[in-house]
Amino acid sequence: MTRLTAVRPLATPSPIERIPTKLPGTFELRPRKMVDHRGAFIKVFQSSLFEQDGLESGFVEQYYSVSEANVLRGMHFQTPPSDHAKLVYCTHGTAMDVLLDLRRGSPTYGQFDIVELSGAKSNAMYVPRGVAHGFYVVQAPVIMLYNVTSEYDPGHDAGIAWNSFGAPWPSTNPVVSDRDARFPALRDFESPFRFQG
């Protein structure tokens, strides 16, 4: 009698590679790019993969920005109870993407990290609650697309001054909005965020 052995299916590589940054809970996401004679196809989000990795995936609002040369947007977040996680990716151009940890009790509280996002790389950033986000345009125009887990709430919309925490921005005189120019320095910010380790 011939005994049949079950054949284990080959493991399929994840369509989205997750690369931790130095700030706990923040990740650069590198999706697989399918390229053929027509162009490219890139999957940037899959709910089941996020849930399996313990990342928030209940995005309720999506928007995008278009930014020209020397523009700096940041450092943005919303405070509780309207705080949110973000999935941010660059569909065109190149951006210096900057994250700033505002979570008290975090081993990297007050520290920042930088990842280059670009349309050519098709990479993205996962930004958890309590981490401020901003970017500088390296190659214009930059189109950034954001998915967030809470809707915009002007009463809880907040930020940190872009030049108050030591990030090596390429310009000392970037184009910023009046709103961004009025944000408090990191040293003057009383953080409502707590690290959930």
CATH number at residue 56: 2.60.120.10
Domain range enclosing 61: 16-188
How many domains does the chain contain in total?
1
pLDDT tens-digit readout, 101-134? 999 999 999 999 999 999 999 999 999 999 999 9
Residue 21 or 15, more confident: 21
pLDDT tens-digit readout, 52-96? 989 999 999 999 999 999 999 999 999 999 999 999 999 999 999
pLDDT tens-digit readout, 24-59? 999 999 999 999 999 999 998 999 999 998 999 999
DSSP character string of 144-167: EEEEESS---TTTEEE--TTSS--
Asked, for residue 10, whether it belongs to a domain, the answer is: no
Asked, for residue 170, whether it belongs to a domain, the answer is: yes
Please check whether residue 28 is in contact with residue 118, taking contact to mean a CB–CB distance below 8 angstroms.
no
| Confidence band of 14 (pLDDT split at 50, 70, 90) | confident
Asked, for residue 146, whether it belongs to a domain, the answer is: yes
Interatomic CA distance for residues 182 and 37, integer angstroms: 48
Give the predicted TM-score (pTM) of the model: 0.91
Would you please indicate which residues are annotated as catalytic (active-site) residues?
76, 146
Task: List Cβ neighbours of 57 (8 Å cut-off, separation of 6 or more).
Answer: 45, 47, 50, 51
pLDDT tens-digit readout, 163-191? 999 999 999 999 999 999 999 999 999 99
